[in-house]
Structure 1
């Protein structure tokens, strides 16, 4: 018998006041140790789903479970949920409010009533994980956009959650900032944190995620990222395009340059390396008289 999902929504429905249903009868689960990309068009319910997972919203019907146990929406139940699942919203300015980086990151652990020494240890650990230890005393209003993103994530990491849910974490970052953040998330995953990322970037999802969940008008479909993001029917219903890496792999397979179980290149750099390897390979056999 398989282990229950780390966190799951079962037959969950939700509507905002006086509005139509945003989610209806939704089944969605997060498996421990699997990076998960959540994709869908604007208005598909991604943000609502993430807020349901973190306890910011409560389903009108259905239930939220942690390791198979229903979440109770009382003080004890919500504390258990919020020490397990942490949500980082897209705009860091919606999350940062303290005078300095260290003060902001310490807010969550202080609210848990932890001893000062434990709070300091968690803050130091989170700042180190996000590579912003040198910014501990920096006023938050003097941070760059990328630094504010990292500070917001550090505040969630200081809670030591098992699941970190990120809403468009790479939006607004330059290429270097994006790569640094993805490397940081990789380190968190290696340390045992399960990361869920909502994104519109199908190329990023293909490159980064183990699994992909596509929100369509018919519900959510989840599976291995390479398989889900090759489903043009699901991508169309989710308002998404085919990832660059899948399109390139299909072309290379048609030309016999990729075969078997080998994956095609997922980035332009990998494509350039493949082209270079073929260019350096043995050329055609010489003709007679050459």
Structure 2
């Protein structure tokens, strides 16, 4: 079995003067797999993402990258953050520079890269997020969707192997969501592994290869169509069945598809299934 790109083993974390949020957690990020992270508010999603990206250090347990334990000194954290980048839900918590290009350049500059390399990374990240035309735009004049893209571009400029996104589609209109998903598809095709935290089970079913459900009994991981079809686990995680799973069950009950028939992830896949029935 291949070594996970990023892994937590036996991780425990409690906030000061607060309850233990995660305890004995084992969690893997597999290279090349789109992973959706789901759970009710307070389940520990944000804590887990910050542990994976080095924003928090586990009280117990071990974070590893490519099987090598992460050291929480300057050198170790720089190594981690060139491999794993987290983009928080609210872009205003992440954007602070006067212009988009200046903001995107912040991470590469902190790596001590030479000017030409920084400019190349900024240009590459802006192009990847389709916001090259916004390079000189003041960040406070951006629309919400543009601020989301600028925040992601700042992470992409670090050329991470793993990009972790906290509710990236929240607050976006349908067109903005589709454009963002197209961008994530391009990033994945270029070799970036993407982890997305979301409450949207329909989006998770459509987009993810794998899903991780944070429940009071612990984390459950597996292929997205299988895991998101388990109503008892979804209930523990405070989630409902995705529409594709519900429709697939109805089609099977009516004899319109095979008992082990595929689960439609999109409206187009549903139309194809019905046309073949």
How far is 1:30 from its partner?
0.1
How far is 1:266 from its partner?
2.2
Higher-Rg structure is: 1
- CA distance in 2 between counterparts of 1:34 and 1:271 reads 24
How far is 1:262 from its partner?
4.4
How far is 1:264 from its partner?
3.5
How far is 1:273 from its partner?
5.3
Aligned to 2:118: 119
- CA distance in 2 between counterparts of 1:114 and 1:219 reads 41
Aligned to 1:169: 168
Answer whether contact 1:8 1:28 (CA < 8 A) is retained: yes
Alignment of 1:230-249 (within 5 A): 230-249=229-248
- CA distance in 1 between counterparts of 2:20 and 2:260 reads 42
- CA distance in 2 between counterparts of 1:260 and 1:135 reads 51
TM-score by length of 2: 0.97
- CA distance in 2 between counterparts of 1:8 and 1:233 reads 26
Alignment of 1:25-36 (within 5 A): 25-36=24-35
Can you give the 5+ residue segments of structure 2 that lack an aligned partner in the other structure?
A: none
Answer whether contact 1:7 1:30 (CA < 8 A) is retained: yes
Answer whether contact 1:258 1:264 (CA < 8 A) is retained: no
- CA distance in 2 between counterparts of 1:35 and 1:189 reads 8
Aligned to 1:153: 152
Aligned to 1:60: 59
Alignment of 1:3-152 (within 5 A): 3-152=2-151
Q: Which moved more, 1:256-265 or 1:184-193?
A: 256-265
How far is 1:15 from its partner?
0.3
- CA distance in 2 between counterparts of 1:109 and 1:248 reads 47
What SS does structure 1 have at the residue aligned with 2:11? Answer: strand
- CA distance in 2 between counterparts of 1:270 and 1:212 reads 20
What SS does structure 2 have at the residue aligned with 1:57? Answer: coil
Answer whether contact 2:7 2:64 (CA < 8 A) is retained: yes
- CA distance in 2 between counterparts of 1:273 and 1:34 reads 25
- CA distance in 2 between counterparts of 1:3 and 1:269 reads 34
Answer whether contact 2:252 2:261 (CA < 8 A) is retained: no
What SS does structure 2 have at the residue aligned with 1:171? Answer: coil
- CA distance in 2 between counterparts of 1:262 and 1:112 reads 50
Alignment of 1:188-199 (within 5 A): 188-199=187-198
- CA distance in 1 between counterparts of 2:272 and 2:2 reads 41
User: CA deviation digits over 1:19-71, x for unaligned, max 9?
Assistant: 11000010001000000000000000000000000000000000101111110
Q: Which moved more, 1:247-256 or 1:82-91?
A: 247-256
Alignment of 1:154-233 (within 5 A): 154-233=153-232
TM-score by length of 1: 0.93
Answer whether contact 1:252 1:264 (CA < 8 A) is retained: no
Pairwise CA RMSD: 1.3
Aligned to 2:249: 250
- CA distance in 1 between counterparts of 2:94 and 2:59 reads 26
What SS does structure 2 have at the residue aligned with 1:241? Answer: coil
Q: Aligned residues, how many? A: 277
